[in-house]
């Protein structure tokens, strides 16, 4: 029988990217937490960086809601399960409210808001607008009658007269409350990089930034009005499958987790544990390789820390030896870079693990950006030939001097991958791809990696 999720919830969206919704959402989450509320953050779509900041602001892991990866039922389950034990859930949207992968808006923030039956507050960049802001908000309100647009937050407001005109226009023409007004240039900036914000673990001023955003939210947001809107969310009926009993830990999996490698979905790590793995986190900048039966190397920014990764020659050598011995290694994006022969970044060449005989170079423009569809090829260590998988990529790097004899694990049906046609370089039991997979969209991945580690454990190095 379906359970009923009644947790107060809110989706923070915008007409377009760069409207300020990330910083405003961070400030809101921090302010709600400061009031003693347990806040569960979510992020729409494939992302690791914003969820890292949101998780740090909330004090509990942020979860991703992705209607491209998940069915409607699975998405509702991810939301309901993630929100368990929380007092309020806050979902940060992505891009524009109605922007999806097609003209129907599939995968959009609006679609997710409807699936989880959540009201939406719209963050509007009010630069050089007065009455026109009301016309824009009214269009968003009328565009989809099934969506509940419950309020507006104004950003980049110039002067008191500007604020007054905006408030009066939205009240008169849109009949919506203004739930916050941020003056021009009020929001503290989190440093950017080519993939967006700098990851939370790299920013030394992290605590200071979050405190500033909390103070700004307390000053400029109508927190009580926002909570009242969140409490209007309709009950959500969802069937939650019974959780799997904790099994015996049969293998030890090393997981690179540090400032260079931080891009992991919580569900991926949980799926590995549920499949029987004990996770052993490895700092690739400092540690040697501990006794493990397999490796999972996620994404991140190894190029920023390339000198430190190169200096840890012992780990690089041990990883190369492990791959040669047939230890199962699954690597995504940054992990692929680490397993290459070298990184060529900003005019310098840095030695990497050397599992694959190619070098990695970087460009100012993305080599691959967006959702991916893959088809597993014969010889793939973790997926049967013909299996189709969904994932995503966002990388400015590409391999140089790919050998014609390179073995690939995936044919790319949508996206770019390693060379536009294939992804997932293979060497023995190592697979390194630009594609990021989500365990809930690839349920066979974690059991397959653990099974390979179990086989390796029986044979040993």
Check which CATH number belongs to the domain holding 186 and give it: 3.40.50.300
Residue 244: its pLDDT value, please? 59
Quote the DSSP letter at residue 242: P
pLDDT over 70, % of the chain: 96
Task: Please identify, among 207, 238, 269, the residue that sits at the C-terminal boundary of a domain.
Answer: 238
282 with 416, same domain? yes
Cα 316 to Cα 343: distance, rounded to the nearest angstrom: 13
Indicate if the pLDDT at residue 203 is higher than 90: no
406 with 433, same domain? yes
Q: Closest Cα partner for 27 from 56, 68, 70?
A: 56
Tokens linked to 247:
């099994």
Give the mean model confidence (pLDDT) for residues 194-222.
Answer: 84
Q: Which helix (H) or strand (E) holds 410?
A: strand 407-414
In a domain, 179, yes or no: yes
267 with 358, same domain? yes
CATH number at residue 318: 3.40.50.880
pLDDT digits (tens, 9 = 90+) for 409-427: 999 999 999 999 999 999 9
Residue 196: its pLDDT value, please? 56
- Assign 340 to helix, strand or coil: coil
Helices (H), 124-205: 131-143, 160-174
Are residues 170 and 178 in contact, defined by beta-carbon separation less than 8 angstroms?
yes
pLDDT digits (tens, 9 = 90+) for 80-98: 999 999 999 999 999 999 9
N- to C-terminal Cα distance for the chain? Answer: 49
In a domain, 51, yes or no: yes
Indicate if the pLDDT at residue 349 is higher than 50: yes
Residue 460: its pLDDT value, please? 56
127 with 264, same domain? no
CA torsion sign for 166, 167, 173, 176 is positive
Indicate if the pLDDT at residue 461 is higher than 50: no
269 with 149, same domain? no
Indicate if the pLDDT at residue 53 is higher than 80: yes
Give the mean model confidence (pLDDT) for residues 378-406.
Answer: 96
232 with 282, same domain? no
Which stretch of 188-197, 229-238, 333-342, 375-384 has the lowest confidence by average pLDDT? 188-197
CA torsion sign for 322, 325, 331, 337 is positive
For residues 204 and 24, which has the higher predicted lDDT (pLDDT)?
24
Give the mean model confidence (pLDDT) for residues 325-342.
Answer: 98
Please, what is the average pLDDT of the chain?
A: 94
Task: Please identify, among 238, 268, 288, the residue that sits at the C-terminal boundary of a domain.
Answer: 238
**β-pairing, 120-125 with 63-65?**
unpaired
Number of domains in the chain: 2
446 with 333, same domain? yes
Q: Which residues pair with 331 in a beta bridge?
A: 297, 432
Q: Closest Cα partner for 123 from 273, 50, 19?
A: 19
In a domain, 58, yes or no: yes
Residue 184: its pLDDT value, please? 87
Q: Closest Cα partner for 238 from 13, 64, 83?
A: 83
Tokens linked to 196:
């967006």
63 with 191, same domain? yes
Contacts of 73 (CB under 8 A, 6+ apart): 238, 239
Return the residue matching tokens 């700092």.
Answer: 283
CA distances from 71 to 67, 90, 106, 440 (A): 6, 21, 11, 10
Residue 119: its pLDDT value, please? 98
- Assign 42 to helix, strand or coil: strand
pLDDT digits (tens, 9 = 90+) for 119-166: 999 999 999 999 999 999 999 999 999 999 999 999 999 999 999 999
Q: Closest Cα partner for 371 from 437, 421, 327?
A: 437
Q: Which residues pair with 397 in a beta bridge?
A: 362
Cα 356 to Cα 339: distance, rounded to the nearest angstrom: 6
Q: Closest Cα partner for 130 from 155, 164, 96?
A: 164
Q: Closest Cα partner for 1 from 245, 234, 241, 243?
A: 241
In a domain, 34, yes or no: yes
Give the mean model confidence (pLDDT) for residues 38-60.
Answer: 96
Residue 28: its pLDDT value, please? 98
Indicate if the pLDDT at residue 192 is higher than 90: no
Residue 2: its pLDDT value, please? 78
Residue 200: its pLDDT value, please? 79
223 with 315, same domain? no
In terms of residue numbers, what domain contains 434? 251-459
Residue 348: its pLDDT value, please? 97
In a domain, 245, yes or no: no
Contacts of 196 (CB under 8 A, 6+ apart): 47, 49, 50
Residue 195: its pLDDT value, please? 47
CA distances from 108 to 98, 99, 186 (A): 5, 5, 29
Indicate if the pLDDT at residue 193 is higher than 80: no
Q: Which helix (H) or strand (E) holds 49?
A: helix 49-58
273 with 159, same domain? no
Tokens linked to 424:
């997932």
In a domain, 417, yes or no: yes
In a domain, 246, yes or no: no
Cα 77 to Cα 441: distance, rounded to the nearest angstrom: 13
Indicate if the pLDDT at residue 197 is higher than 50: yes
Give the mean model confidence (pLDDT) for residues 6-11.
Answer: 98
pLDDT digits (tens, 9 = 90+) for 285-329: 999 999 999 999 999 999 999 999 999 999 999 999 999 999 999
- Treating both helix axes as pointing N-terminal to C-terminal, what angle do 206-220 and 21-34 enclose, rounded to 10 degrees? 90
Cα 295 to Cα 135: distance, rounded to the nearest angstrom: 53
Indicate if the pLDDT at residue 397 is higher than 70: yes
Residue 429: its pLDDT value, please? 98
267 with 210, same domain? no
Catalytic residues: 333
220 with 257, same domain? no
In a domain, 346, yes or no: yes
Q: What is the number of other CB atoms lying within 10 angstroms of the CB of residue 157?
A: 25
Task: Please identify, among 238, 270, 294, the residue that sits at the C-terminal boundary of a domain.
Answer: 238
Quote the DSSP letter at residue 436: B
Maximum CA extent, the chain = 75
């Amino acid at each position: 029988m379906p359970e009923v999720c009644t947790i107060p919830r809110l989706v923070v969206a915008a007409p377009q990217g760069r409207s300020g919704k990330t910083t405003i959402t961070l400030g809101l989450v921090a302010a709600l937490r400061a009031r003693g509320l347990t806040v569960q953050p979510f992020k729409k779509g494939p992302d690791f960086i914003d969820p890292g900041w949101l998780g740090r602001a909330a004090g509990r892991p942020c979860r991703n809601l992705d209607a491209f990866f998940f069915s409607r039922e699975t998405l509702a389950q991810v939301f309901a399960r993630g929100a368990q034990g929380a007092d309020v859930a806050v979902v940060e949207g992505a891009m524009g409210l109605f922007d999806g992968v097609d003209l129907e808006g599939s995968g959009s923030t609006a679609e997710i808001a409807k699936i989880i039956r959540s009201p939406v507050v719209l963050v509007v960049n009010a630069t050089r607008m007065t009455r026109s802001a009301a016309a824009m908000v009214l269009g968003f309100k009328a565009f989809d009658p099934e969506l509940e647009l419950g309020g507006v937050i104004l950003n980049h407001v110039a002067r008191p007269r500007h604020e007054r005109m905006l408030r009066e226009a939205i009240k008169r023409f849109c009949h919506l409350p203004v739930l916050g007004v941020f003056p021009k240039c009020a929001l503290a900036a989190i440093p950017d990089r080519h993939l967006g914000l700098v990851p939370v673990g790299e920013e030394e001023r992290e605590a200071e930034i979050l405190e500033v955003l909390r103070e700004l939210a307390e000053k400029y947001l109508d927190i009580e009005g926002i909570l009242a809107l969140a409490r209007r969310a309709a009950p959500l009926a969802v069937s939650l499958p019974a959780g799997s009993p904790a099994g015996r830990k049969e293998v030890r999996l090393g997981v690179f987790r540090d400032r260079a490698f931080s891009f992991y979905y919580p569900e991926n790590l949980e799926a590995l544990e549920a499949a029987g793995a004990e996770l052993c986190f490895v700092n690739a900048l400092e540690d040697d390789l501990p006794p493990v039966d397999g490796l999972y190397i996620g994404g991140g920014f190894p190029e920023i820390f390339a000198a430190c990764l190169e200096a840890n020659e012992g780990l690089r050598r041990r990883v190369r030896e492990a791959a040669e011995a047939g230890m199962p290694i699954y690597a995504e994006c940054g992990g692929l870079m680490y397993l290459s022969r070298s990184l060529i970044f900003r005019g310098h060449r840095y030695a990497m693990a050397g599992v694959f005989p190619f070098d990695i170079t970087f460009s100012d423009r993305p080599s691959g950006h967006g959702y991916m569809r893959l088809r597993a090829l014969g010889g793939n260590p973790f997926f049967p030939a013909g299996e189709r998988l969904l994932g995503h990529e966002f990388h400015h790097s590409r391999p140089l001097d790919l050998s014609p004899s390179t073995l690939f694990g995936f044919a790319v049906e949508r996206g770019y991958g390693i060379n536009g046609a294939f992804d997932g370089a293979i060497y023995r039991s190592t697979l390194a791809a630009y594609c990021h997979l989500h365990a809930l969209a690839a349920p066979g991945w974690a059991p397959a990696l653990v099974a390979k580690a179990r086989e390796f454990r029986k044979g040993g190095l």
